[in-house]
Structure formats: C-alpha cells, structure tokens
Homo-oligomer: A and B are copies of this chain.
Amino acid sequence: MTETVSPPGRPARGHAAAVQAEACPIGPVVDLVFSRWTTPILWALHAFGRQRFVELERRIGTITPKVLTQRLRQMERDGLVVRTYYPEVPPRVEYEISELGLSLAPLFHHLTEWSRDHLGEVAAARVAYDDRDGPMP
C-alpha cells in the first residue's frame, strides 16, 4: 500500500482521477495540457520550432532548469514532445513538438480567439465586482 489515508494537497486528477468526482470529461486533458508550464513550453516549441534546452530556457525566461527538465520529461512521456539526444561534446539535446502535440494547435487557436473576444469582459467583471462595496451575505 502506498497510501493509507486520504492524501491532501492535490489528490484528484492525475491520480484516482475519474473516481466519480468529475463527470467532467475534460479533466484528463486539462491535467495534460494546462499545467503551469506546459502551455508556455508547448507554445515556444510550436512558435520557434525544434530547439535545444538552453534556447527553451531563455525563451521562457522565468523557468528554472530543474522545472524545465521536469516538465519536458513529463511531456515527453505523454508523447507531446520529442527529445533527441546527440552524444557529442558538449552534449546537445533538441526538443520538438510531436505530431500529437501538434494536434493541440487548433485548441490553442480557439483559446486565443476566446481571449481576444472575451478577456475584456472578464476584466470588466472584476472591476464591477470589486467596485460594489460591502460583502454580500
């Protein structure tokens, strides 16, 4: 037995996921694609094509090598990116989007459109919400 009691923190999605919690069918995808760093990475890879570790690191700018490695590994495992290792000195590794990863492109496109069309409303909603004073019961 790996866990005796209910694990706090973040139990659900990747784990006993579809238990029953989410009739919500998109849980898995969300976990896959929309975690903190996956989108920026995927985006960088998609926008600038095959590139090596350092390029990616610099492109994203705020990510640490540790985390970048972690995420890339996971994405590689999930089949979203392809890692190619060149045993030279100095070593060279290149990452690129896989075909599967590329299949997400339309999705990203839709997201971009939604942003363009509705992000303003969100901002407005926030202002409105913050302006109305006194907490509602």
Known contacts A39-B27, A40-B22, A60-B22, A110 near B112 by CB under 8 Å: no
Assess whether A10 is interfacial by the CB under 8 Å rule: yes
Given the complex, which residues of B lie within 8 Å of A103, measured CB to CB? Answer: 114, 117-118
Interface size class for chain A? 35 or more
Binary CB contact string for chain A from 50 to 86 against chain B (1 if under 8 A, 0 otherwise): 0000000000111100000000000011111001010
Q: Is the Cβ of A126 less than 8 Å from the Cβ of B60?
A: no
> Known contacts being A39-B30, A43-B23, A112-B26, is A87 close to B125, with CB within 8 Å?
no
- Bound CA span A21–B124, Å: 24
Asked if A107 is at the interface (CB within 8 A of a chain B CB), the reply is yes
Q: Is A25 an interface residue (CB 8 A)?
A: yes
